[in-house]
Amino acid sequence: MKRITVADLDTQSTDAEVPSYLASDHRENRWLRWWYRLASPATPPASASFQRRELFRRGRTGSQILPALYLLLIVALPAGFLGTNFYLVPIVIACFFMLVIATVLNRLGFVNAAGFIVVLTFMFFPIADIVTTPGGINMMDLPVFGMLILPLVCAVSFLAPWWVFVVALINCLFTFLALTQLPQTPELMGMLEINFTGIISPILISQIIISVVAYVWVSSTVHALARADRAEEIARLEHDLALQAEAAARQKEQLENSIQKIVETHTRVANGDYSARVPLTGDNVLWQISGSLNNLLARMQRLHQDSAELQKMKQGFYQLREENRRLRETVLALQQLREDEGRSRGTSSPLSQFSPDDPRKLMWNTGEERF
């Protein structure tokens, strides 16, 4: 069987912050606090799953009965020295050693493994004491059968509730076989022949009653804890849904504000303000689109400036060409006037030697500075 630890369970549980009304205020007994540090598993976080917290509960409950089990073994040790069964001392020492191992495993979180060791230890303790009795089972061993109740208590404390029936069945089978098959003293044998049912019935009935009561008690506790856990889980889900709704509303508001800023920037650009930009603030959830739009607007602004400069150059060129045209017309008119004057005098004018396309030469030869 695979051993399950507290740390192995709820690996997918989150460590999200739990609201104050969901956090349970659990106060430990100050007298047992030091013992919990030695024998109990570590306390799981408040956000742990129900399986993990249930495993911790079983480990904590088991750690509470461990001191009584240690005390029982310590008390039984002198009986081994003073009694007739000289095997009882090594049996007690072996059980004490196994109980220490179970305590360490329980502290490390191996609750199921610790529970199996404790149950087997305290099944072995009375069984070994009965089997190793010198001369066979006697009347003094009958009260030892009552110690078979200890494995039932250990089973419901450390393990799942249904394990108590398995332990009770094993105890009943051992009791029946011990009183029918194992060697017995003549005194006990005579009593069993007279009233076998009256001797074995209390032992078996006590096993059945205690196992049923323990199962019902622990099962009711587990079901109550499960219902409380479901109610707590519902409250936690409602809290998480409220937080998600609040985050969605806040995100929607930020999205609307970001869209509004983009629309305002478009409106300003459409009205001719090419210097408009979308603010890249921390609450702008569309900052990637806004950044790309700002780059596009910067290029459009440079394009608009270059277009305006080109238009000015174009106008200057048109004005220069118009002035050049007027200048040529003036030169042609002046040349025609000089030619007409020269014909009237019978001499040729120096202006006839120049082309109207060269006004600088014309101005030089005629001594004119301007037209």
Sequence-ordered list of residues with C-beta below 8 angstroms from that of 254, at least 6 positions apart, any chain = 283, 284, 285
What pLDDT does residue 113 have? 92
DSSP state of 353: G
User: CA 164, CA 174: separation in Å to the nearest integer?
Assistant: 15
What pLDDT does residue 238 have? 85
In 3D space, the residue among 159, 158, 157, 128 whose CA is nearest the CA of residue 144 turns out to be 128
User: CA 351, CA 343: separation in Å to the nearest integer?
Assistant: 13
CB-CB contact of 119 with 154 (8 Å): yes
CB-CB contact of 10 with 48 (8 Å): yes
Residue ranges of the chain with pLDDT lower than 70?
1-30, 83, 346-371
User: CA 118, CA 46: separation in Å to the nearest integer?
Assistant: 29
Sequence-ordered list of residues with C-beta below 8 angstroms from that of 79, at least 6 positions apart, any chain = 88
What is the dihedral angle through the alpha carbons of 310, 314, 315, 319, rounded to the nearest 10 degrees? 150
DSSP state of 271: T
What pLDDT does residue 283 have? 75
3 state SS of 32: coil
CB-CB contact of 134 with 85 (8 Å): yes
What pLDDT does residue 44 have? 85
What pLDDT does residue 369 have? 41
What pLDDT does residue 21 have? 45
**H helices of 44-162, where?**
50-82, 88-108, 111-131, 149-158
What pLDDT does residue 114 have? 92
User: CA 278, CA 291: separation in Å to the nearest integer?
Assistant: 8
Sequence-ordered list of residues with C-beta below 8 angstroms from that of 72, at least 6 positions apart, any chain = 150
Domain residue extents for the chain: 30-240
In 3D space, the residue among 188, 176, 89, 197 whose CA is nearest the CA of residue 139 turns out to be 188
Phi, psi of 286 (to 5 degrees): -100, 40
